[in-house]
């Protein structure tokens, strides 16, 4: 509709972001970190302002379900997406808004959308992009839960995944079809320690006219910014390195503002009149943050996986120390990898920070500050040795998480990837001999000592 309403400037600032901040009606698009403040400054300050009611410097936990309207006209403008503001915490919340603006700033995106978990972030992305019968191409080297979600749960929506080899960019091109709506990869694959050639796959996505979605959970924006290499949408499990303390669950979608949703007509949710909002076209009305707005006001509104204000607050607090933690994580991870590589009971170590890793060159390109702190290694004793090792560690915690300040360990074949066949596990980098560790920020001598005593007992 040519007369579709345009977003009107809210009180206090221009209509430039999909996630208003704590001040009533106002927010500003996060400045791209490559042009504005440095990373550590953004990690502390992006999106946050003193609370206008109390002067509180820390972002408050806005533990409320809903928000009072000025009058009937104000309410109507919010429900019509003509002005930015808060309606109901299932859709947005002021604490959540600061989190969204901060992560978008760190990733160099135009807007963010925080949700209940990393899985919820992926569901929201594909719900915004896909129709029944559509396909997407994904690297088979993914977190086991994503493999299950894509290959099984998404079938109930009649969405279909075609698997490609993350180490062979050409395999993504070969997997494309007329029904392909997106390409999905992880920047550093979980649990294999594989660094993906984002730029090469981005070229394939661009030539095919589909967005590239990158899960940047293992790297974090401190180590890698996928947008700089051609990503159009970035997702995170906020539960991992961004939150960093193992105390809260969350996920986020970052709209990079780089994809032309009007160009092909293949994405009607963004390019065609929307019946939910009196015929507005999201791509025309909201420009370079149209995807984030559609994901919020359609997918999140109707599917409902909202992040809690408390979890948003805890993750925000964690992000403030992200640069400091990541420096310690990667320094410890490299030292542990070098020690494991020399151990007689270890068959191999797949850490891209090691110079003999086949992914070392890619790691230096995409993750110049370090190759992450979560990786896998193989035990010469196979499946039984893996189960025994995780049972004998003392400092390490045996659990299904990564990115904590604490060192964590798991045997994927008997836990996170056990639903897969042995062939599927091997293709995902989670074979029977594989142990995954997430190296924490403890003293590295203590981390190594714990592995040493556990390996000695095998």
Point out the least confidently predicted range of 21-30, 93-102, 180-189.
Answer: 21-30
Q: What are 160's strand-pairing partners? A: 135
Handedness of CA 314, 241, 402, 301 (dihedral sign): positive
Handedness of CA 296, 302, 303, 305 (dihedral sign): positive
Q: Which tokens go with 172? A: 């993504």
For 218, other C-beta atoms within 10 Å of its C-beta total 29
- 3-class DSSP string for 159-216: CEEEEECCCCHHHHHHHCCCCEEEEEEECECCCCCCECCHHHHHHHHHHHCCCEEEEC
pLDDT mean across residues, the chain: 91
Q: Please provide the size of the chain in residues.
A: 458
Distances (CA, A) of 224 to 235, 301, 435: 13, 31, 24
Share of the chain above pLDDT 70, in %: 92
Tell me what the mean pLDDT of segment 281-293 comes to.
Answer: 97
Task: Spell out the domains of the chain, with CATH numbers in brackets.
Answer: 39-319 (3.40.640.10), 326-456 (3.90.1150.10)
Has residue 386 got a pLDDT over 80? yes
**pLDDT (0 to 100) of residue 430:** 76
Has residue 69 got a pLDDT over 80? yes
pLDDT (tens digit, 9 = 90+) per residue, 415-432?
876 777 778 777 767 788
**pLDDT (0 to 100) of residue 11:** 31
Question: In terms of C-beta distances under 8 Å and separation of at least 24 residues, what long-range contacts does 351-358 make, across chains too?
Answer: 351/193, 351/375, 351/377, 352/188, 352/193, 352/194, 352/195, 357/193
Handedness of CA 441, 443, 445, 448 (dihedral sign): negative
């Amino acid at each position: 509709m040519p007369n579709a309403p345009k977003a009107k400037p809210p009180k206090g600032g221009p209509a430039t972001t999909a996630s208003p901040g704590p001040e009533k009606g106002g927010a500003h698009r996060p400045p791209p970190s490559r042009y504005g403040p440095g990373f550590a400054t953004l990690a502390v300050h992006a999106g946050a302002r003193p609370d206008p009611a109390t002067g509180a410097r820390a972002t408050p936990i806005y533990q409320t379900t809903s928000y009072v309207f000025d009058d009937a006209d104000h309410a109507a403008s919010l429900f019509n997406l003509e002005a930015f503001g808060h309606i109901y915490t299932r859709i947005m919340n002021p604490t959540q808004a600061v989190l969204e603006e901060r992560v978008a700033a760190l990733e160099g995106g135009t807007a963010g959308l925080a949700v209940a978990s990393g899985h919820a972030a992926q569901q929201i992305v594909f719900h915004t992009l896909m129709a029944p019968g559509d396909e997407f191409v994904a690297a088979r080297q993914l977190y086991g839960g994503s493999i299950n979600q894509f290959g099984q749960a998404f079938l109930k929506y009649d969405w279909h995944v075609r698997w490609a080899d993350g180490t062979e960019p050409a395999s993504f091109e070969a997997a494309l079809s007329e029904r392909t709506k997106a390409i999905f990869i992880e920047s550093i694959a979980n649990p294999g320690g594989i660094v993906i050639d984002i730029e090469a796959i981005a070229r394939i996505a661009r030539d095919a006219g589909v967005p590239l979605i990158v899960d940047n959970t293992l790297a974090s924006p401190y180590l890698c910014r996928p947008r700089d290499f051609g990503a159009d949408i970035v997702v995170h499990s906020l539960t991992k390195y961004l939150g960093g303390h193992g105390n809260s669950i969350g996920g986020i979608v970052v709209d990079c503002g780089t994809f032309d949703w009007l160009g092909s007509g293949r994405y009607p949710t963004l390019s065609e009149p929307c019946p939910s909002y009196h015929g507005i076209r999201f791509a025309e009305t909201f420009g370079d943050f149209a995807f984030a707005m559609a994901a919020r006001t359609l997918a999140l509104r109707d599917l409902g996986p909202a992040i809690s204000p408390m979890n948003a607050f805890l993750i925000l607090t964690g992000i403030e120390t992200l640069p400091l933690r990541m420096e310690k994580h990667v320094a410890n991870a490299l030292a542990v990898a070098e020690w494991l590589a020399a151990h007689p009971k270890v068959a191999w170590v797949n850490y891209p920070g090691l110079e003999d890793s086949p992914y070392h060159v890619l790691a230096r390109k995409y993750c110049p500050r370090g190759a992450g702190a979560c990786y896998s290694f193989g035990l010469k004793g196979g499946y039984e040795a893996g189960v025994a090792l995780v049972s004998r560690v003392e400092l390490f915690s045996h659990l299904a998480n990564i990115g904590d300040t604490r060192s964590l360990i798991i045997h994927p074949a008997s836990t996170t990837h056990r639903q897969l066949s042995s062939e599927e596990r091997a293709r995902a980098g989670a074979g029977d001999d594989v142990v995954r560790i997430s190296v924490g920020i403890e003293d590295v001598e203590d981390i190594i000592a714990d592995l040493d005593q556990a390996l000695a007992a095998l």
